[in-house]
Chains A and B, each alone.
Chain A
Amino acid sequence: MDSALFWEMFIKALVLILVLLTSFAYLTYYERRGLARFQSRVGPNRAGPAGLLQPVADAVKLIFKEEFIPGEAYKVIFILAPILTVVPAILITATVPWGGSFMIGEREVSLVIADLNVGVLYIMSVASIAVYGVVLGGWSSNNKYAMLGGMRSSAQMVSYELALGLSFVGMVLLADTMNMSEIVEAQRNLWFVVIQPVGAVVFFIATLAELNRSPFDMPEAEQELSAGYNVEYSGMKFALFFMAEYTKMVSISAIIVTLFFGGYRGPGVDAIWWLGPIYMFAKIIIILGLMIWIRASWPRLRYDRLMAFGWKILLPLSLSLVFITATGILLEMMWIVPLLSIVAGYIAVQSINLSLRRKANAR
């Protein structure tokens, strides 16, 4: 490895981390303002012009809060758990392409940190590490609520990971590669969301569960678990959990955009390289807005229904979507894929309706 390559990697990674951390801070602002508007309020608008310094105020407050470690807690793991959650959340974006490439002198610099040929596998594996932080944090707090929150979140993440992985498979089949940049290139003419619309929905639902976001925010349900796995955390350690959650939101949105919405591609990207990140961020902001909108609108799922939904609906649905995609590719009839997948999605919705009606009648 020559030194120029090292510095290129170093600077790219540094810029990415800084961008992710800033976007985490402003995502909290975006979410609070967005939620407020959905609830007919104004939201934080006191700190700085239009409340833009609110994330800074929050950060300062969290840094200066007391770091309390419960006496009965398992100290090493208690301290390790927030780190274990926040590191994968940042690592996961390493294979996501943020734009095309540009030239500095003789050197071609591409806007992706690690152009792995198994980028999809990398994302899957790193995403599942994040469960450890949550479950260890819940367990090491030595607190009933935290324990329950950790257990719930591990069960939930493991079950929805299946649907998530199977939705990945469909896209890998369509693009015929596991490299994220090549998946983006494969969507040059047609976004995958058009070919596999139900797959996009399944992926989105699975990521909501993976992120512990509403309506799947069971692990941190304030009303029943007081705060879930992070009850005993305060100060900077709590801020790290918070940071992990919101950074993961950004990175998973980036992955959704890459897989289904053409990544950084948009009009004029081939000519002007810096349009790539801008398109990417615009799409990410739209996906994040959708997540906030859902949080403002829908109530939380009951826990048994959440597990039933994951195993009995999403898993068969995503399996059948893989099957449909493979059939379409094998028969070389791509128009069959969106049609059949919408049929499969309709059957899934109808089966939920049926089971809900049966439960209502049984009462």
Chain B
Amino acid sequence: MLAELLRGLKTTFKMLIDKPVTYQYPEVKREVRPRYRGHHELKRYDNGLEKCIGCALCAASCPADAIFVEASENTDEERYSPGDRYASTYEINFLRCIYCGYCEDACPTEAIVLGKEYDISYATRFEAIADRDALLKNSTQGVTPQKTEPGVYTRSVPEMEDPKDY
């Protein structure tokens, strides 16, 4: 009996010497896993044009019906994305979203990506609906619409590498 009791004391004493395993959350944020599915982000190309072409495949694939996309025509004077069309309305309702990542899989241009942000809270239901600008906020800097030379950005789906695992 005594040996078991002392073993118990030894176990907790080891914990006392060890460093605590907890993170001091608001100050220290823990790095998420590579495949973590957090808040959505809409991506841009390096030249600032949006990747999203407004095809609404993400909305079609969404099991929770959280995504709403409306497309409009691009012109060379006011170009948002390569190709003919761009998403003039892009809304995700985060109260419906289940973070399954099907939209990311369905996207032909890798425009919609589930990022690493998990600190998502809102005070009203309207704040839960993220529009185009909110989703584009975190991607690389760039301004749309841009004025571009005619006949350059005709291909809507880019040539992409095979997806890499981490």
Please give the residue numbers on chain A whose beta carbons come within 8 Å of chain B beta carbons, in ascending order: 36-42, 45, 293-294, 296-298, 349, 352-353, 356
Contact = CB atoms under 8 A, between A and B. Distances in A.
Contacts of A296: 12
Contacts of B120: none
Given A353-B1, A356-B1, A297 B20 contact: no
A42 B22 CA distance: 7
Interface string B1-15: 110010011011101
A298 B5 contact: yes
Contact of A37 (B2, B5, B15, B24): B15
A349 B2 contact: yes
B21 interface: yes
User: Which 6 residue pairs of A and B lie closest in terms of their CB atoms, listed nearest first?
Assistant: A297-B8, A297-B12, A38-B12, A40-B15, A296-B12, A42-B20
Contact of B1 (A37, A45, A352): A352
Interface in B1-58: 1-2, 5, 8-9, 11-13, 15-16, 18, 20-22, 24
Contacts, number: 39
Given A297-B9, A297-B12, A349-B1, 10 more contacts: A40-B20, A40-B21, A45-B24, A293-B9, A293-B12, A294-B9, A297-B5, A298-B5, A349-B2, A356-B1
B15 A38 contact: yes
Contact of B18 (A40, A45, A353, A356): A40
10 contacts: A38-B16, A40-B18, A41-B20, A293-B9, A293-B12, A293-B13, A296-B12, A297-B8, A297-B9, A349-B1
A42 B18 contact: no
Interface string B83-115: 000000000000000000000000000000000
Contact of A39 (B1, B2, B8, B15): B15
Interface string B118-143: 00000000000000000000000000
Nearest to A46: B24
Contacts of A38: 12-13, 15-16
A206 B148 CA distance: 87
Nearest to B15: A40
Nearest to B23: A42
Given A293-B13, A297-B12, A298-B8, A41 B1 contact: no
- Highest count of chain A CB atoms <10 Å: which of B15, B21, B24: B15
Nearest to B24: A42
A39 B22 CA distance: 10
Nearest to A357: B1
